[in-house]
Structure 1
Amino acid sequence: MIDWRAVTVGFLTIMGLGAVGLIIPGLGQLLAAVIGGAVAGYLAGGGLFRGSWHGLLAGSLGGFFIAVLVWIVISIVGLSLGPVAGAIGAALGFGTFAIIVLVSLIAAIESALGGAVGGALAG
């Protein structure tokens, strides 16, 4: 059973530390993902597998949230430039959304590793 409280707290940790991590691009987001995954895994408890699963969910949720925001922003900017630019902006926004979701799923592995560590520490 999924502990949604653990996933939510891990997600919020990733978002908060990720915003602060913009100061050190790349490394800041990596640490945010690992720490957020560890928080989710620790709160979920139950060992390596359960911790990594909850860390993976928290990291994936974070990446999906960022992808939706980027898609919305690109679409709104496109709409502000007129109807043709709006259609182009929406298409480009969807392409960007798809790429960010793919990258975030791959990057969620970092959160899963952090979750495994957190789950092991809790168990």
Structure 2
Amino acid sequence: MTNWRAVIIGFLVATVLSVVGVVVPGIGQLVAVLFGGFVAGYLAGGGLASGFWHGLLAGAFGGLVGGTLIALIVAISGWAAGPIGGLFSGVAGLGILFVALAISFVMALESAIAGAVGGVLNPNPRR
């Protein structure tokens, strides 16, 4: 059973560290996803498979939410240039969304591996 509390906390950790990673060089967004996945796996506990699953969900959720927000901002901002600008920004927004989906896949895998490590370090599930 999925521990959504662990997934949301892992997502929030990754989000906060990603914001800090923009300001402080060296941390980076991919390292932030590692920490978020680890936290999700550790909080969920239950061993390797449970940690992998919860880290995967935290990383995928972060990538999808971030990518969707960026794609929407680009798509909506084009309407300032009129209907033609709206059409072009809508197409650009879809392209950004597809790239974000690919990036979220990579982030989810990285987060899942870190979550598996966290799940192994905490074999007892927390509720």
TM-score for both structures, normalised by structure 1 = 0.94
Alignment of 1:36-75 (within 5 A): 36-75=36-75
Which residue of structure 2 aligns with residue 111 of structure 1? 111
Match of 1:24 in 2: 25
How far is the alpha carbon of 1:32 from its aligned partner? 0.6
In the alignment, the residues of structure 2 paired with residue 19 and residue 98 of structure 1 have an alpha-carbon distance, to the nearest angstrom, of: 22
Structure 2 letter corresponding to 1:24: P
Counting aligned pairs with the same residue, the percent is 46
Contact 2:68 2:100 in 1 (8 A): no
* Separation in structure 2 between the aligned mates of residue 30 and residue 102 of structure 1, nearest angstrom: 14
- Encode CA deviations 1:46-105: one digit per residue, 9 max, x unaligned: 001110110010000000011111111111221111111101101110111011111111
How far apart, in 2, do the equivalents of 1:43 and 1:102 lie? 27
For residue 28 of structure 1, report the CA deviation from its aligned partner.
Answer: 1.6
Q: How large is the RMSD of aligned CA atoms in angstroms?
A: 1.1
Structure 2 unaligned residues grouped into runs of 5+: none
Query: Aligned partners of 1:50 and 1:115: how far apart in 2?
Result: 8
Letter in 2 for 1:29: Q
TM-score (norm 2): 0.91
**Number of equivalenced pairs:** 122
Question: In structure 2, the residue corresponding to 1:46 is in which secondary structure?
Answer: coil
